[in-house]
Structure 1
Amino acid sequence: MTDYVGTQSCGDGASETVPSDDIPESLGESLSTTTGTSDPEMLIGAEDDSLIPTTVDIQRVFQEGRETWTQFVNLAKSLPPNSVPAGLADPSVMLKDIPALPKKLPKRGILTGQPVWYISNPEHQDARQDGEWNSEHVRGQQKDFILSAPGPIECTMSSRPDFVYFGHASQSRDRPPAPPEGVSLLTLCWSYIISARFAELKGMNLVYTSNFIRPRISRRPLAKRDNIALRFESPVSHQFIRWLCAILAPKPGWCGEKGDTLPWAAFCSGDSRTRLSEDPTTGQFIISLDQPISFGSNVPPPTSDQATDFLIELCTRDGLGPAKSSDGKAEVLSPPTAAFFAALAIPFYQHVKLRPQFPIPALKRRKIDPAQLEPLRQYVTDLRYYMTLSLHPRTLGSVIWSIFWQPEIECNLVSPWLSAIFSVIRPIIRSCNLALLAKTFAFRRPRVALWWLGIFLLGNPTPLNWIATYLETLEERFGFGSMAPPDVSAAAWVGSPQSFLDDDMLREYTNRTDLVPRADILRIRHDLRLRDSASLPLSWRPFGSFSKSSVELELWPLLECGIPRRYLHWEWWVKADQGLVRDTQLGFQKDTGRFTKDVPDRLEMVRASDHGVVDDIKLIPSKNSTLRMMSYCLMDASGDRGADISAVVGSNSHRWLKGWRGLE
């Protein structure tokens, strides 16, 4: 039973009584301070300190960060409603080298895979291959993919008048525009299509449950407030209506055989305030027909291809198709494409225990040419690639949080960089304008932003609080373990770097007396321990340098050749009758020859003319990043802690080291 306690609000907007498990942390005035376990100290510059940055550098990074992100926000505000920057209306821009799932999956359990990297081996130039073994092809960290979910995710509708684009809107002149039409309805359609395709890979049948909408017979359209009424006139496919009655039911209307739940399964129970309403059907779907029809008791649910036909029929009927942009700078995001992004984010919502929240759509009957919707079939054809990243929420977490990473920002300057970002996007977060934030991200890192777009389209405003917390603490959710640490495999898949580990190191250090940047040393150490899962990787660039003569000899060959690590392919290990079978996947770009290259990240910092007064800057991001760098410096190429901290910092008594367990 759900208890109703408290209110939910965004900024200064209206509030309402909501279920206690739907209440996000405050998104109002509390955004000006960080609560929880954060350190209240501020970052104060110091001259000639081994760890603490100078005041001049702090001011420079803050001002340039503010200029950079202000530019992104201004670009986002220039776009028309429901649009994205040109080139981003095609979801395949997210794929690059993402591997496809195997064509045959086990029905239950987990699927395991790992990357294969090229790492130069200068000491074995003459004997690199021995049969299938190649000393320069190195396997990386293993990933386990869970092939089922504990149950379908429950979505809700809101009849609130201020519940609009992606979330709760504030009562202001900057009120977000209306959402793409029918995004809730179409997300449920995609939820089924993706699940059906996944079930086909598993050799599993889907079945209807006893839950379904009973169509109403009416000669005239139903005019019912706070509901979503769909009316169909004869002739209409009985299978099509039966499918809609199942996927739009207020309780799960379909599942895998033997009751299995697919990771993308969802249903919509109606208005989240139903228990307080006189009408228990508020926010639910209603289907009306002009003539009665009967459903056979053993009619099987449609395949993924048949359901795609039904989706196109539905979009054609209600005019839910693509629209042309008014200029070459933006593309209007069509409702079925927006819903596709949202459906891909469902496993992430499952993992972080969020409930999707949609506004009640206002559907307008108008027909369009079904030929305009043919690109949707390509989405289904490519589903094995989309599902790979969608199915692994922690890997997706590393992708989405890399939106804030900046290549040249050193560990001890993370605080002013993140503080600058927060100073710019804080008003957007306070107003809960998820649409504007998604567009801002799209100008920053397009391939990453589209995953954020899917998360935002599911409508729960809680991730806004996580963003605010992350920008002040480097940890988005206290007590849950951060999903932000970088993943070199995910960076290669998506084509957007996440850390200094993804840099190309081209310089050769041939002399014993060469000064080697700490970033290059730590990157090579990482490359020699690619299977290590005991420690979290470091995102931000390490500062300082060492003489080559003080670096362990195992690193010298790689320091001298200057050849970077390179991603080759992905290997799945699939359970079969004959045991584990290796399935090698080269990735989307190599498999299909398709990849959109003209949507690059914008990682250049805008130089600021004024490096004057800055806001109060929290200490904790810079301090924690620097201490993590110290921990990495103490670990040699074999994984042993072999260095003396005084050799790294110059002293064992630096104030940032007080209470640090890395000294133990």
Structure 2
Amino acid sequence: MANADTQDLRPPCLSTILTDDNILQPNPEQLEEATKKCREYWYRLTGAAIRHHRDGVPPEWTDPRHMLWRAPAIRGPLRKFPSGTSKRKTLSAKAFSTWRLNDGGADCEVSEKERKVKAILHLGIQAPPTCTFTGDSFRQWIGTTGEAKDAPNYLGILALGWSYILSARLVEIQGKGAVISYTNSKAIQCDEAESGSVPDVIVDIGNANADVARWWSAILARGGGWKAIIEKNKDGEFLAPWSISIDEKHSFGVKWQGNDPLPDAAPLSSDRAFEVLAEFSLLHNLGSQFLVAFAAALTFPTHKHHKTEVRLPLPTQTGQKSSTATSGSVPSQWAMVKEHLPNYISLSCCPELIMSTLCGMFWEPDVPCNLVSPWLHPILSEVRDAETIAAKPGSYHEILGIICGFRRPQICSLWLGAVISGLTPKILRLVERGKPPLNLLAFPWTGCPQTFMDTPGSGPYVHGDASGDKVERADVWRLLHVLPLEEDDYGYHNRPTTPWAPFGKTKKEYCSLNVYCHLGCQRHHLEYQHWNWKLDDGSVIEDPGLANTSSANAPVPPLPEESLPEIPQKPVDQKASQDASQDIFGWFVNGGEGSPPEALYKDAWIKIRKGDEDNDEMDLDEREIATDSAPKKKKKQRVNQLELDEWLDTLSDG
């Protein structure tokens, strides 16, 4: 058993293990060295996470404000349209993002300085996902550092309340036909004096008036006790994307002082519902549960998008109620969430962005495509079987949520929320194949890079080398994407569908003409400028987002000292490396460049399969994303370096 020291833990730089730019598949010694370094890193992180699992996480990790960087605030009423298949229609809103090419002030001619990218937000669904209270993770909330541990676990109850608040806020913003109402389904009204059968879970809401009790009765009702309709048209009703249907396995009762008959009251506004939920949290001393339950509710549309069940932890009812709880005592962090609800709504209405962000926790810039397997293997295949983790159902996912605090503190609250809602198995299945889903907006909206294409790299493009001038392949890939394209050349308009960078360097004479001409420039990269909302009246609103600097600077605590658990080691399967390599080099070859005269392009890993064996396991929308491609470029003729230099001289003479 080893001890983790308290120094900062940096991920290993695996690219330095590779010594030959023309050999794609690592040899056994390189694979063993990479696996050893990755085990050391992930094992130590696991030990640190176990310590926080016992003592509580830093309070900053539960604060959702860090996930807001340039996320825009949703406007309304938006121009909406049904999308998807006939059996799976979604109400969407068209919008687009604006990007600008930063050429570092280079004195070169680049005609296309601005690029607009179309996007959609999912604002409505026709059938809500099922919500159960059978979740294994966080059945007992671990709390934050210094927080009392004797509060009841009401994470699931709070998430249901937040789903209503988000839905009501969207209804209020959209207006023009959007409406929220209660249904006939209600939770059981409990009376202490009443004998006989009782609900599985009784929720005490304290001293509440009848309107508040009616709201709680709707929130905890089987099926659905409320309905938020964003639009009704010839395709039917489209409900707010946080709508859920509580299954029949558990029944809930509402208990309050007075127990007056429930009135036929108007549904609470989003502001009033927030006050009620905050007062309930203060009443039961729920503390950080209020914020992480909000993050869990943000993942509900992603569950619907990936056809997964929302699985929340069943409430536990230990602890004492507070004697006083007023809206005036709401913590400022909670009030800030309400203030920025429109920004969170925009994030949550992009399930592709949410999934890309969550999967991005495992991406590392210094892990090349051919070493993805040894990088992912320890955390995905070995840590889950550690004795202290395997013994408790759900704890592996809890540990992953805490590890996110060390790797991506900006989105730790979102990861904890995903664990609470039961989304983790889907995340892991997408990550383990080496090509998780990517979303262009994930980095600018959250501040967390998802892929090597999100970063411009550093230093000069051309590296002096004993065998001649060479260029990082990752930089060639970046330039192919960001440089302007001819009207009929779209092969590199879309970014690669895998986040892992191609390994090694290539000779600069192997670069296409448009790339070669810019190798002497300062680095070029596309910078996000703003989001553009298309309103129902035809107008367009530019939204630069919050520009929240706290996102990029979310604090990371020192690595605590902790004994590492005994973790069984297993052999590494290189399939993820093979798939990632195949995807990233396939993007280059199929985009129009073809295969340069380098030995690695004859490697079996780069041969493009006619079919994808993962397709049967992919969701419809994932398959559309994975296979989305513009018309292919015509194969370009590579130029002799001497001829190219002579051609460039003629330009300078002119």
Alignment match, 1:136: 113
Alignment match, 1:357: 311
Listed one character per residue, the Cα deviations across residues 99-128 of structure 1 (whole Å, up to 9, x for unaligned) are 222254346642223332231358996999
% same residue: 24
Farther off after superposition, 236-245 or 107-116 = 107-116
Alignment match, 1:263: 241
1:619 and 2:619 correspond? no
1:377 and 2:330 correspond? no
Alignment match, 1:561: 521
In 1: Cα distance, 2:363 partner to 2:203 partner = 45
Q: What's the offset of the Cα at 1:408?
A: 1.3
Task: Assess if the C-alpha contact under 8 Å between 2:295 and 2:413 holds in 1.
Answer: yes
In 2: Cα distance, 1:89 partner to 1:293 partner = 37
Farther off after superposition, 283-292 or 83-92 = 283-292
In 2: Cα distance, 1:206 partner to 1:466 partner = 32
Alignment match, 1:286: 253
In 1: Cα distance, 2:517 partner to 2:165 partner = 51
Alignment match, 1:17: none
Listed one character per residue, the Cα deviations across residues 200-240 of structure 1 (whole Å, up to 9, x for unaligned) are 111122111222235244447x8977622134666x32211
**In the TM superposition, what are the counterparts of 1:576-587 in structure 2 within 5 Å?**
576-577=536-537, 579=538, 581-587=539-545
Alignment match, 2:14: none
In 2: Cα distance, 1:601 partner to 1:497 partner = 20
Alignment match, 1:401: 359
Alignment match, 2:273: 307
In 2: Cα distance, 1:179 partner to 1:456 partner = 20
For residue 181 of structure 2, what is the amino acid of its counterpart? V
1:102 and 2:75 correspond? yes
Q: Which runs of 5+ in 2 are unaligned?
A: 1-17, 82-90, 142-148, 560-567, 612-634, 636-654
Alignment match, 2:297: 343
In 1: Cα distance, 2:600 partner to 2:203 partner = 71
Task: Assess if the C-alpha contact under 8 Å between 1:149 and 1:263 holds in 2.
Answer: yes
Q: What's the offset of the Cα at 1:485?
A: 3.5
Decide which of 399, 402, 411 is 1:439's aligned counterpart: 402
Task: Assess if the C-alpha contact under 8 Å between 1:243 and 1:301 holds in 2.
Answer: yes
Alignment match, 2:460: 508
Decide which of 97, 100, 112 is 1:115's aligned counterpart: 97
Alignment match, 1:147: 123
Alignment match, 2:201: 228
**In the TM superposition, what are the counterparts of 1:519-558 in structure 2 within 5 Å?**
519-528=474-483, 536-558=496-518
Alignment match, 1:599: 555
Question: What SS does structure 1 have at the residue aligned with 2:309?
Answer: coil
Farther off after superposition, 486-495 or 186-195 = 486-495
In 2: Cα distance, 1:375 partner to 1:200 partner = 23
Alignment match, 1:366: 321
Listed one character per residue, the Cα deviations across residues 275-327 of structure 1 (whole Å, up to 9, x for unaligned) are xxxxxxxx211124554534554x3211110111111222233332x2xxxxx
Q: How many pairs are equivalent? A: 547
Decide which of 173, 186, 189 is 1:215's aligned counterpart: 189
Decide which of 156, 161, 175 is 2:132's aligned counterpart: 156
Q: What's the offset of the Cα at 1:561?
A: 1.9
Question: What SS does structure 2 have at the residue aligned with 1:151?
Answer: coil
Alignment match, 2:643: none
Task: Assess if the C-alpha contact under 8 Å between 1:63 and 1:420 holds in 2.
Answer: no
For residue 53 of structure 1, what is the amino acid of its counterpart? P
Alignment match, 1:491: 443
Q: What's the offset of the Cα at 1:345?
A: 0.9
Q: What's the offset of the Cα at 1:260?
A: 3.8
For residue 317 of structure 1, what is the amino acid of its counterpart? L
Alignment match, 2:35: 62
In 2: Cα distance, 1:522 partner to 1:290 partner = 65
Question: What SS does structure 2 have at the residue aligned with 1:119?
Answer: strand
Listed one character per residue, the Cα deviations across residues 595-653 of structure 1 (whole Å, up to 9, x for unaligned) are 461436999xxxxxxxxx98422121122222223223325xxx4x24235x243564x
Question: What SS does structure 2 have at the residue aligned with 1:549?
Answer: helix
For residue 254 of structure 2, what is the amino acid of its counterpart? I
1:93 and 2:55 correspond? no
Q: What's the offset of the Cα at 1:574?
A: 1.4
Alignment match, 1:192: 164
Question: What SS does structure 2 have at the residue aligned with 1:142?
Answer: strand
In 2: Cα distance, 1:437 partner to 1:123 partner = 42
Decide which of 575, 581, 605 is 1:656's aligned counterpart: 605
For residue 437 of structure 1, what is the amino acid of its counterpart? L
In 2: Cα distance, 1:398 partner to 1:99 partner = 18
Listed one character per residue, the Cα deviations across residues 489-546 of structure 1 (whole Å, up to 9, x for unaligned) are 3122221222221233333347996311111000111223798676743311212323
Cα gap change, 1:252 to 1:517, in 2 (>3 Å): same
Question: What SS does structure 2 have at the residue aligned with 1:148?
Answer: strand
For residue 469 of structure 2, what is the amino acid of its counterpart? D
In 1: Cα distance, 2:552 partner to 2:104 partner = 35
Q: Which runs of 5+ in 1 are unaligned?
A: 1-44, 129-133, 170-176, 272-282, 323-333, 476-483, 604-612
Question: What SS does structure 1 have at the residue aligned with 2:577?
Answer: helix
Task: Assess if the C-alpha contact under 8 Å between 1:403 and 1:449 holds in 2.
Answer: no
For residue 656 of structure 1, what is the amino acid of its counterpart? W
For residue 492 of structure 1, what is the amino acid of its counterpart? P
For residue 309 of structure 1, what is the amino acid of its counterpart? E
In 2: Cα distance, 1:291 partner to 1:81 partner = 40
Task: Assess if the C-alpha contact under 8 Å between 2:410 and 2:551 holds in 1.
Answer: no
For residue 244 of structure 2, what is the amino acid of its counterpart? A
Q: What's the offset of the Cα at 1:92?
A: 0.5
TM-score by length of 1: 0.73
Decide which of 428, 432, 446 is 1:467's aligned counterpart: 428
Question: What SS does structure 1 have at the residue aligned with 2:471?
Answer: strand
Listed one character per residue, the Cα deviations across residues 560-613 of structure 1 (whole Å, up to 9, x for unaligned) are 222342533332241423x3x2221112226xx75461436999xxxxxxxxx9
Q: What's the offset of the Cα at 1:658?
A: 5.7
Cα gap change, 1:242 to 1:233, in 2 (>3 Å): same
Task: Assess if the C-alpha contact under 8 Å between 1:213 and 1:286 holds in 2.
Answer: yes
Alignment match, 1:77: 50
For residue 300 of structure 1, what is the amino acid of its counterpart? A
Question: What SS does structure 2 have at the residue aligned with 1:79?
Answer: helix
Cα gap change, 1:502 to 1:202, in 2 (>3 Å): same
Q: What's the offset of the Cα at 1:252?
A: 1.3
Alignment match, 2:632: none
Question: What SS does structure 1 have at the residue aligned with 2:312?
Answer: strand
Cα gap change, 1:634 to 1:507, in 2 (>3 Å): same
Alignment match, 1:30: none
Task: Assess if the C-alpha contact under 8 Å between 2:34 and 2:375 holds in 1.
Answer: yes
Task: Assess if the C-alpha contact under 8 Å between 1:107 and 1:202 holds in 2.
Answer: no
TM-score by length of 2: 0.74
